[in-house]
């Protein structure tokens, strides 16, 4: 059997339509040139911009392409906006490191999560009480647990306090509705490679001009209407648009299918390992994500053993640049460290099928038994 790739929250393989669009645009002209080659490249970028703008219900000039979500977070989480000066940043307890470490605020506070990974509204109200013109960074859905945040409810409170909400919609895009109308956010950012587009491209999307950062994202040649200088990544943007187009056409069916597959895997795993702890089980979760721990079995060892068996899943620990550290998300949810070190994440995506879902639990059972025998 081919390998089981169950790590789509890390990155999702390139969709064939995206691959085709990337290849077709690799040789594109410079989108700033006025000749035919330049105009053809420009058309690809503006078509992609219009697609995102239409979906999110804003004018095209409010969509700015970036090198991905990390750049977008680093850029939009700034105190000085075109129409507002934010004084402090409130950061949801489950935010990705590109938010938690990428912002430009001197005054910050972390808003707690409850045991299911949802924002603690008592804590949010208290922190808003100390804030004037705050910015809240709150993700639409968590990459480790899949827990969906009540962004609209939080946004109502933040707006009452005269603030703005920046929503990391990276994991929500194509999986649950994260448009402005659903989230009430003021700024959103997204990433192409989580939906089967190429890596290294994403976008910041603004609900209105007043919430655009006062300073250009990248200073240089004035591209992206002066917000982000640098020759545009035509192939990346075209691939992103092709992936998004497919998500818009097939996403709802894909998610219905993946939810059934995820639920089946969850039921099989908890049946074979009754000691399993499912994280965020009491909260609404992304249909493709299952985060769980098998207490006593270290996640790193299990992930490595499953890899040898041909299964790619992720540990719940934060792993970047080869360093593994305890998950800040699970810690915010009050998960004890000895359980957090056993956290695993399965995240499904467009190519996964039922046969793979059926195969996984027996592979896990075999690996678990081997680890137990060794222990």
Question: What's the CA gap between 302 and 167, in Å, rounded?
Answer: 33
How many Cα atoms sit within 13 Å of 14 on the Cβ side? 16
Strand partners, 189: 168, 204
| Residue of 4, 69, 111, 344 interacting with ligand PLP (CB under 6 A) | 69
70 part of the interface to ligand PLP, by CB under 6 A: yes
Q: Does 98 bind ligand PLP (CB under 6 A)?
A: yes
Ranked by CB distance to ligand PLP, the top (closest) residue is 68
CA distances to 244, 330, 332, 341 from 336, in Å: 38, 8, 10, 9
Residue 8 or 42 having the CB closest to ligand PLP: 8
Contact between 171 and ligand PLP by CB under 6 A: the answer reads: yes
Q: What is the rounded CA–CA span in Å between residue 56 and residue 21?
A: 22
> Among 160, 121, 168, which Cα is nearest to 142's?
168
Work out how close the CB of 198 gets to ligand PLP at its nearest, in angstroms, rounded to a whole number. Answer: 11
Which two three-digit tokens encode residue 346? 């399965």
Number of residues that bind ligand PLP (CB under 6 A): 12
The H or E element containing residue 47 is helix 36-56
The correct pick among 131, 143, 233, 317 for binding ligand PLP (CB under 6 A) is 143
18, 41, 148, 170: residue in contact with ligand PLP (rule CB under 6 A): 170
Would residue 98 show up in a list of annotated catalytic residues for this protein? no
Interface residue with ligand PLP, options 96, 257, 262, 341 (CB under 6 A): 96
User: Which of 75, 88, 131, 139 is close enough to bind ligand PLP by CB under 6 A?
Assistant: 139
Report the alpha-carbon distance of residue 105 to residue 99 in Å, rounded.
Answer: 11
| Sole binder of ligand PLP in the list 7, 168, 224, 356 (CB under 6 A) | 168
Distance in angstroms (rounded) separating the CA atoms of residues 49 and 41: 13
Of 139 and 183, nearer to ligand PLP (C-beta) is 139
- Binders in 175-234 for ligand PLP, by CB under 6 A: 191, 202
Residues 6+ apart with CB under 8 A from 131: 87, 88, 90, 161, 163
Of 206 and 364, nearer to ligand PLP (C-beta) is: 206
The rounded distance, in Å, linking the Cα atoms of 17 and 184 is 31
Q: At what angle do helices 234-272 and 16-25 cross, to 10 degrees?
A: 160
Nearer to ligand PLP, 141 or 367 (CB): 141
Stretch that binds ligand PLP, among 64-72, 79-87, 253-261, 287-295 (CB under 6 A): 64-72
Q: Match 């990276």 to its residue by tokens.
A: 170
The residues carrying an active-site annotation are 319
Contacting positions for ligand PLP (CB under 6 A):
68-70, 96, 98, 139, 143, 168, 170-171, 191, 202
């Amino acid at each position: 059997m081919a390998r089981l790739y169950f790590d789509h929250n890390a990155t999702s393989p390139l969709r064939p339509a995206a691959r085709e669009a990337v290849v077709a645009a690799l040789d594109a002209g410079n989108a700033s040139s006025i000749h035919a080659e330049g105009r053809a490249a420009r058309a690809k970028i503006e078509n992609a911009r219009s697609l995102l703008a239409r979906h999110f219900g804003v004018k095209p000039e409010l969509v700015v392409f970036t090198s991905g979500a990390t750049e977008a977070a680093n850029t939009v989480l700034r105190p000085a906006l075109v129409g507002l000066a934010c004084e402090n940043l409130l950061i949801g307890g489950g935010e990705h490191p590109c938010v938690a470490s990428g912002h430009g605020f001197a005054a910050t506070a972390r808003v707690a999560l409850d045991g299911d990974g949802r924002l603690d509204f008592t804590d949010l109200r208290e922190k808003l009480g100390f804030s004037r013109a705050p910015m809240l960074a709150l993700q639409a859905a968590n990459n480790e647990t899949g827990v969906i945040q009540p962004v609209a409810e939080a946004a109502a409170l933040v707006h009452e306090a005269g603030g703005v909400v920046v929503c990391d919609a990276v994991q929500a895009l194509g999986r649950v509705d994260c448009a402005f109308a659903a989230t009430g956010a003021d700024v959103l950012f997204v990433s192409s490679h989580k939906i089967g587009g190429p890596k290294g491209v994403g976008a910041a999307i603004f609900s209105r001009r007043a919430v655009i950062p006062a300073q250009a994202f990248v200073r240089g040649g004035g591209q992206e209407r002066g917000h982000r200088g640098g020759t545009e990544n035509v192939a990346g943007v075209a691939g992103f648009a092709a992936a998004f187009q497919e998500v818009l056409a097939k996403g709802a069916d894909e998610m219905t299918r993946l939810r059934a597959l995820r639920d089946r895997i969850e039921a099989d795993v908890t049946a074979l390992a009754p000691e399993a702890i499912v994280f965020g089980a009491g909260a609404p979760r992304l249909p493709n994500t299952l985060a769980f721990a098998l207490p006593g079995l270290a996640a790193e060892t299990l992930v490595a053993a499953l890899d040898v068996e041909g299964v790619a899943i992720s540990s719940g620990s934060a792993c970047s640049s080869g360093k593994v550290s305890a998950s800040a998300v699970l810690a915010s949810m009050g998960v004890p460290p000895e359980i957090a070190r056993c956290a695993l994440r399965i995240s499904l995506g467009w190519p996964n099928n039922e046969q793979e879902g059926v195969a996984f639990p027996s592979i896990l059972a075999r690996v678990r038994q081997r680890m137990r025998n060794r222990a």
